Structure 1
Amino acid sequence: MSTETTKRQPLLRYWTTRYLLTLFTGLLLIGVLTSFWLRRSAVQRRLVSLKALAAGTAERVAGPGGGLQLDRNLTGEIGRSQRLLGLGTDLFLFIVNPENRIVYSTPDRPPLALLERITIPSYVEEGFQQLKIGPQSRFYILKHTIKAEERWLGAVYVIYPHRQINTNPEEVDFLFFMLGSLAALGWGVIYLLTRHLTKPIQKVAAAARQIVEGDYRQALDPNVRETELYELIRAFNDMTVRLRQLEALRTELLAGVTHELKTPVAAISGLVQAVRDQVVTGPEAQEFLALAAEETTRLQRMVEDLLAFNAFAAGELRVEKTLCPLNALVQEIAAQWLRGQEDRQVKIEVRPLPRDPLIATDQLRLRQILYNLFNNAEQALAAVGKTEGRIEVTFDETKEEIRINVTDNGPGIPPAEQELIFERFFRGAAKKGRVRGLGLGLPFSKMMAQALGGDLYLKSTSAHGTTFTLTLKKHS
């Protein structure tokens, strides 16, 4: 489904609506189950009362002489027992003699249809039967034997209609009161909590819209109790700070890159124009042309670096790995770079591993990375006028990788620049106006290191020197 056709709702309405549906569904289920339980409990209580009525009647009519004692007060006592037990008056109670003939009934004789359907065996002292006559009429039938001195004198039968067994109204009222209170309390709690939750999220969303419009001066108050909201707001504030830094850096770098490209173009134009207008002639003209060619080469190198960086960032430059001995390869790269620095007082010392491990890497990309690190070290040394610059290449080996450490004895990187050295087009204050370039060396080297399956990072820096570490996966 497309985002344009998706129907959305405010968070407060969305969650409170769904919570209410879930809450009322749960409470309805609880109400149904509780009503069933109350109904069953009412039936059990009523059956206990019926048994008590039958047992009390059986004890009342068991005469001391071994016969049934059916006096004129029996009906009144049965009525009082009914009222005390809460059974009402809509029941049939009858007594049979040992020949199973009815000798007493109240309030009148049960219908013949009921009597014919009683199936409780005569030998059962206490029996129970449920009887259904037609689709609506249901009855409970209880039997209690009348005995005196282990002699069977007859039995008491109680027939009670099922419709008279009702749940206690007070229990039903209490149930609905509790369910209603829980529903109101639950809705109030989820409403207040959701509203409390939505406020900071709405602020983040509003601030994010301002950032989309280009206003990076957004800052939210992180003073919230919830850990997740605090992390969200803090991450948002960090993001806005980072965006402001990047925006300022982008503006500065755009001006720097423009300046770096404009400088050789202006120099070439001036030199060629001087020769064309014959401002200089003869050997001096040849010198001007040589300078123009040199500036052209520098300009071409900067453009090539920019194109190569963009191509690598877009994944268009491939990495071709081959197995090669690491010690020998690094020593060869260091020696080749050093031969190109014959006019500089820079020394490189490579401290190889005790054994020369094989490593799968792209030799050309590894060469580019180390050349960039060596060039940066040489420029840092030249910036402070050190006549005896020293670069050390050491190795650390772990179970899974090999680390190549490139250390110089330069002045170090200022703290304010340490987090930006791998940003595209960033150039430190020491290089501006002294070394021409686009600030792509370290970012390009880090991208190539990651393409080789490793990484490049600043290990340490101080006033006594700087160490960059290149990690490479070991060949398995």
Structure 2
Amino acid sequence: MSKQKRISLFRYWTTRYVITLCIGLLVIGVLSSLWITYSETQKRLDIMRLMAAEISDRMVDADGKLKTDPFLFRILDRRQESLRLNVKPFFLILNEEKRPLFNAPGPFSSELTSLAEQLVNANDNATQVKLARGDELLFVKRSIQVNQKHVGWVVLFTHKKDITRSSTEFELLFIMLGGLGLLGWLVIYLLTRKLAQPIKNVADAAKQIVMGNYEIHLDKDSRENEIYDLIHSFKEMADRLKQLELMRTELLAGVTHELKTPVTSISGLVQAVKDDIVTGDEAKEFLDICTKETTRLQKMVEDLLDFNTFAVGDIRIRRENQNLGDLVQEITHQWQNGREEDRLELRVNKPPNEITVTTDPLRIQQIIYNLLNNAAQAIQGEGQIEVTLSETTQEIMIEVKDNGKGIPVEEQSFIFDRFYRGEEKKQLVRGLGLGLSFSRMIAQAMGGNLVLTTSSPQGSVFTLILRK
């Protein structure tokens, strides 16, 4: 047996949904962060290019020579405020020979001054430089031109990590991902709880059934079709098990009683003969009674054995061509001759044409005998039984109709259940309640069926249906 620890359905799926959600949000967060970083980098470079263009315009006097604008830093401060930059970029002004002409103060001034000529000569697509101590800077360059002649260069720098520090998009991203995570968890929690609750209720109800309590209560008003089918089917199963348990209890009591009665009778009668309490003709009568009781006991044991065989589907059918009209006539005649009482009128109705079918005559006899016996028990006095043979293009029907008391409506759905016996029949007839169940099994094994066509206080009609 597996020793793996079991957890609840609610916890199992909630945990996995949350893990999946977190992984999904993490991937979205990483990809979004990369995109925001790229977008912010391009945005900062565009702003620095605009500032470099403005500085280059202010670095040339009327004679076309480089000069330093005394208000340059104030202009840069205003641009920083208007563009909402959190960090002011630092810059270099180079002359025509690419020598530093002006160096704005900054943490990397000396190192950038030595790299100035290298940066100006770099490819126009280059926008990053890595310093000796590991710092990464973004830079843009702009040539200063007079009459289409290069007279100098403006190079602006900003620290790459300042972009991340100053970006509000990251804050919005983290707020959005946090909100989505919380909303996703809440949705998963509520949906999983709603899904797991009815399943848990069914599992708890199953435990009650295991403990022998069949009085379970489940909410059948579920809007989900699958959940509704599960609960409805489980409730029907519980009701059916309750009925079967009652039938099993009654069967055990009935079988015990039915087997005990002939055994006790036989034992008493044989003991009386043995002890010479009765002699002569009376002893012979006692032995005749013992023979009848033994025959009845043997029949009940055979029924139980047949039931076990039929229950596992081992019903042997030996088919042969039969004139069904003659077969029904012969079966009814044998049944009537085998009865001691002659208080019932038995009539057989069959069509004038011959009906031939490939079937097992012995199995047909078993079914009709059982139906005739049940009809005789239902009449309880003088009455009439009518057997009618008919056919359609696809089927052959044998109807057995009686004018007895009929079967109560509340019992009609159970009459083909194994070991089921109606309340009134229990008091009048000894038996195990297997006749109709056997008969239907046989009919289905032959490819047909046995049904209760109608039943009322005026009588009942059972129909054996055979396929052509």
**TMscore range, shorter length:** 0.7 to 0.9
Counterpart pick for 1:107 among 101, 104, 108? 104
Question: Partner of 2:127: helix, strand, or coil?
Answer: strand
Which residue is equivalent to 2:210? 212
SS of corresponding position for 2:324: helix
| TM-fit CA distance, 1:139 | 4.4
- Which digits, 9 at most, give the CA deviation of each residue in 1:343-379, with x for residues without a partner? 552123345999756x5x6554444334433433444
What per-residue deviation string (whole Å, max 9, x for no partner) do you get for residues 98-133 of structure 1? xx7568554278434353255567xxxxx4323444
Task: Look up the SS of the partner of 1:419 in the other structure.
Answer: helix
Q: Which runs of 5+ in 1 are unaligned?
A: 122-126
Q: Does residue 406 of structure 1 match 2:403? A: no
In the alignment, which residue of structure 1 is the partner of 2:380?
383
Question: How big is each residue's C-alpha offset from its partner over 1:369-410, in whole Å with a ceiling of 9 and x where there is no partner?
Answer: 344334334443x33631x32122334555xxx464534143
Map residues 17-166 of structure 1 onto 2, 5 A cutoff.
17-60=15-58, 67=64, 70-73=67-70, 75-76=72-73, 77-78=75-76, 80-82=78-80, 84-85=82-83, 86=85, 88-94=87-93, 101=98, 105-107=102-104, 110-116=112-118, 118=120, 127-133=124-130, 136-144=134-142, 151=148, 156-166=154-164
Contact 2:300 2:431 in 1 (8 A): yes
> Counterpart of 1:111 in 2: which secondary structure?
helix
Check conservation: 2:58, 2:69, Cα contact below 8 A. no
Aligned mates of 2:141, 2:353 — CA distance in 1: 102
Q: Distance in 1 between matches of 2:4 and 2:185?
A: 27
Q: Which residue is 1:331 aligned to? A: 325
Deviation at 1:468, TM superposition (A): 3.9
Task: Tell me if the contact between 1:63 and 1:148 (Cα under 8 Å) persists in the aligned partners.
Answer: no
* Separation in structure 1 between the aligned mates of residue 268 and residue 423 of structure 2, nearest angstrom: 28
The 3-state SS of whatever aligns with 1:347 is strand
Q: Deviations over 1:407-442 (max 9, x none)?
A: 414343211211221222222345334443221111
Q: Is the 8 A contact 1:64 1:148 kept in 2?
A: no
* Distance in 2 of aligned mates of 1:471 and 1:95: 110
Counterpart contact for 1:128–1:141, Cα < 8 Å:
no
Q: Out of 319, 328, 337, which is 2:316 matched to?
A: 319
Q: Tell me the distance in 2 between the aligned counterparts of 1:179 and 1:186.
A: 10
Asked whether the equivalents of residues 266 and 290 of structure 2 are also in contact (C-alpha less than 8 Å), the reply is yes
C-alpha separation between the residues in 2 aligned to 1:266 and 1:163? 103
User: Residue type of the partner of 1:116?
Assistant: Q
The residue correspondences of 1:215-230 to structure 2 (distance < 5 A) are: 215-216=213-214, 218-222=215-219, 225=222, 227=224
Q: Write the distance in 1 (CA, Å) between the matches of 2:122 and 2:448.
A: 90
- CA change 1:119–1:140 in 2 (3 A) is farther
8 Å CA contact retained: 1:393, 1:407: no
My pick for the range that moved more, 285-294 or 24-33, is 285-294
Alpha-carbon contact 2:387-2:401 (below 8 Å) kept: yes
Aligned counterpart, 1:260: 258
RMSD: 4.0
CA distance in 1, matches of 2:28, 2:352: 76
- Per-residue CA deviation, residues 227-284 of structure 1 (Å, 9 max, x unaligned), is 45555554444444333333332333333333333343444455555655363634x6
CA distance in 2, matches of 1:450, 1:70: 111
- Which stretch of structure 1 is more off in the superposition, 294-303 or 134-143? 134-143
Residues 55, 72 of structure 2: 8 Å contact kept: no
Aligned residue among 180, 195, 206 for 2:178: 180
1:143–1:156 CA contact under 8 A, matched in 2: yes
The total of aligned residue pairs comes to: 450
Q: Does 1:440 align with 2:434?
A: yes
1:184–1:433 distance in 2 versus 1, CA, 3 Å: closer
Q: Give the AA of the match of 1:299.
A: L
* Secondary structure, counterpart of 2:348 in structure 1: strand
- Separation (CA, whole Å) in 2 of partners of 1:241 and 1:392: 37
Distance 2:355 2:381 in 1: 37
1:417 equivalent in alignment to 2:415: no
**How far off its partner does 1:40 sit?**
1.7
- The corresponding residue for 2:347 is 347
How many angstroms apart in 1 are the aligned matches of 2:388 and 2:412? 21
| Whole-angstrom CA distance in 2 between matches of 1:258 and 1:162 | 95
Q: Would you say 1:303 and 2:301 are equivalent positions?
A: yes
Partner of 2:243: 245
Q: Distance in 2 between matches of 1:84 and 1:144?
A: 21
- Length-normalised TM-score, structure 2: 0.78
Query: How far apart, CA to CA, are the structure 2 residues paired with 1:473 and 1:96?
Result: 110
Percent sequence identity over aligned pairs:
40
State TM-score, norm by structure 1: 0.77
Equivalence for 2:422: 428
Taking the aligned partners of 1:70 and 1:405, their CA distance within structure 2 comes to 122
8 Å CA contact 1:377, 1:391 repeated in 2: no
